């Protein structure tokens, strides 16, 4: 999948300019297990939260809302700071909560 943007974290207006509208993504409290997910973007709400967008191989999209502080926006089931994700990075949530 090709993306026009190279930076994962974007402001809402930037995301709209790239054609990314998170409102159509399924809001989840936890990313699905054992499903390869590609990171699309992290869209800032305000400076204390970010909406992380992912897509699976079937085209299903997911929106994971992350609240953070002190520069850390940890996606618990991946044990990763959302600010460190890369556009196009593929991740899998494993059943025992480790990620690859």
pLDDT one-digit tens code per residue, 50-88 = 999 999 999 999 999 999 888 899 999 999 999 999 999
Q: Which residues contact 77 (CB under 8 A, 6 or more apart)?
A: 30, 31, 33, 93, 97, 99
Query: How many angstroms separate the CA atoms of 40 and 8, rounded?
Result: 7
C-alpha distances (whole Å) from 44 to each of 15, 35, 53, 67 are 10, 25, 11, 10
Quick one: CA torsion of 11, 13, 16, 17, rounded to 10 degrees? -110
Q: What is the pLDDT of residue 1?
A: 66
Provide the percentage of residues in the chain whose pLDDT is more than 90.
76
């Amino acid at each position: 999948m090709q993306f026009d943007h190279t930076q994962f974290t974007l402001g809402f207006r930037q995301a709209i300019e790239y054609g990314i509208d998170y409102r159509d993504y399924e809001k989840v409290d936890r990313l699905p297990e054992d499903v390869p997910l590609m990171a699309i973007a992290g869209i800032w709400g305000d400076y204390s939260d970010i909406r992380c967008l992912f897509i699976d191989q079937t085209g299903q999209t997911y929106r994971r809302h992350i609240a953070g502080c002190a520069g850390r926006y940890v996606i618990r089931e991946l044990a990763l700071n959302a600010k460190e994700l890369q556009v196009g990075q593929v991740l899998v949530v494993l059943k025992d909560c480790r990620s690859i």
